[in-house]
Amino acid sequence: MKIAVINETSAADRNADVLAALQGRGHALCNAGMKKNGEKPELLYIQTGLMAAILLNLNRVDFVVGGCGTGQGFLNSCMQYPGVFCGHILTPLDAWLFTQINGGNCISLALNQGYGWAANINLSFIFDRIFSVERGCGYPAHRKEPQQASRQTLEQVSSVVHRSFAEIIETLPDPVLKPTLEYPGFIDLVDIASIPDEGLKQAFFKRLG
């Protein structure tokens, strides 16, 4: 699995903790967000939510680990976009249930609120649980079929109620889109030239000028 780690400015100092907790699990890690405080352009949860949506919608990654001070901002930001199914994960049990029941492709962590003694160990335990079960398999067993049906329905709802991603890129305000695309290394991950959807490819090129 290819996993993007996306930290925003208030949680930039937690980037190393998140990466360390993900190491040794056999996944390819992509450190797409802020690595330390003071980097420019500064990414707020507004931009990191968009980053997650771009990488997931272009199939550049399979899963996104993001967050912010409380986890709520990143959660709300990335859920504005189609194809992103994010959970607010505070405990290993949250991770274990979210994976099975909701089958999401993104999680939002609280990386300042309550981030105290042994918080880095809690991160490791969260990742132990989130990758220990089949995504979207359903829990408990007798709820498997209705939960899987609900997950499929949610994907349909997401595609119906959102604009196309090309239209999103064409119309996002500059203060949201420009810092995202200008963040060092991010446009390389996007790899615009290889996007198969011609309309989406041209939307990116247009916004880059």
pLDDT grade for 209, boundaries at 50, 70 and 90: confident
Task: Count the domains in the chain.
Answer: 1
Rounded to the nearest angstrom, the gap between the alpha carbon of residue 182 and the centroid of all alpha carbons in its chain is 18
For 31-82, write each residue's pLDDT tens digit: 999 999 888 999 999 999 999 999 999 999 999 999 999 999 999 999 999 9
pLDDT grade for 167, boundaries at 50, 70 and 90: very high
34 in Cβ contact with 43 (< 8 Å): yes
The domain of 42 spans 2-208
Q: How much is the pLDDT for 21?
A: 98
* Residue 73 exposed, middle or buried by CB count within 10 Å (0-12, 13-18, 19+): buried
Q: Which amino acid is at 142?
A: H
Q: Is the dihedral of CA 102, 103, 104, 109 positive or negative?
A: positive
What CATH number is associated with residue 112?
3.40.1400.10
Q: Is the pLDDT of residue 24 over 90?
A: yes
